């Protein structure tokens, strides 16, 4: 038998793998939450973010009163940083 390899008992191996997966998921969630890239919201998410309603958000868009973008498929998108700045300026 080769003594160069040491194997954990199955319970310890499962525990170690579970911890590795848990940590990888936590790291990915942290990166997604703290990413410096744009964070786009759709109409429903923008309404929730602003404690409003989707119809009120669409009304603001029609009046060009809120910063927004249109995706190539016509979907309305809102950059979270632009929305934050818009809220701060009143």
Banded model confidence at residue 64, pLDDT cuts 50, 70, 90: very high
Model's pTM, two decimal places? 0.58
pLDDT of residue 6: 63
pLDDT, tens digit, 9 for 90 and up, residues 4-40:
566 656 778 888 888 888 888 877 766 665 555 458 9
Domain definitions of the chain by residue range:
9-36, 40-89
CATH of domain 40-89: 1.10.10
H/E stretch holding 21 reads: helix 10-34
Indicate the DSSP class of residue 69: E
Q: Measure the CA angle with vertex 46, ends 78 and 66; round to 5°.
A: 55
Q: Could you tell me the CA-to-CA distances from 89 to 3, 43, 58, 71 in Å, in that order?
A: 68, 21, 20, 25
Q: Quick check: 52 pLDDT over 90?
A: yes
């Amino acid at each position: 038998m080769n003594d160069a390899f040491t194997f954990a008992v199955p319970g310890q191996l499962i525990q170690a793998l579970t911890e590795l997966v848990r940590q990888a998921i936590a790291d990915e969630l942290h990166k997604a939450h703290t990413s410096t890239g744009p964070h786009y919201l759709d109409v429903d998410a923008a309404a929730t973010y602003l404690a409003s309603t989707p119809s009120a958000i669409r009304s603001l868009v029609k009046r060009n009163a809120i910063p927004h973008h249109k995706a190539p498929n016509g979907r309305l998108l809102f950059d979270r940083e632009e929305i934050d700045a818009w809220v701060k300026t009143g």
